[in-house]
Structure 1
Amino acid sequence: MSHTPHQLAEDFPEHLVKIRHLREKDGHFHRISKEYEEVNHRIHLGETDIEPCDDLHMAQLRKQRMALKDEIYGMLMRAEPLAAEAEV
């Protein structure tokens, strides 16, 4: 069990420019990335026993995080390449 938060910037470092751009320009991407952060934070609190929860609830949260991450990844792959990405 990992107690390290799964931040989008750490999980997709090669897409930082695109993540920032989509958060500013795409309302849906902004909503799901915020939801990902909230779910990820709840998982981290549960894993570190700051806010313990049962195994079933933790499994549901992890599935939700994975579904959000899959959607975010898909949106990153479909988004047009940005000129600034070549500089990163």
Structure 2
Amino acid sequence: MLIGPCEVYVFGSVAKGQATGASDVDILVVSNRLPKDCKSRGNLKEKIEEKAGLPLYHPFEIHLATGEEARESPVYRSAILEGIAL
């Protein structure tokens, strides 16, 4: 298990039904078990992509946040309120 208990949301243009061929797919993963430093979070994103079987270049933009970070960020609060919970 990479993260443990978490909440996952699709947000942005895909969730709003406004995606185009050039759009990415924004995914927010909220977990209180995330590493604090950026390098470790980057490594975790790579592991998530690898476990998901994603190729090197893919349309997914994975955002990682703790519950506190998600509550403090207007973008992430909007993702939780208006996005699609998975």
Tell me the TM-score range normalised by the shorter chain. Answer: under 0.3
Q: Which has the higher strand share?
A: 2
Q: Which has the higher helix share?
A: 1
TM (norm. structure 1) is: 0.26
TM-score where L is the length of structure 2:
0.27
Question: Whose radius of gyration is greater, 1 or 2?
Answer: 1
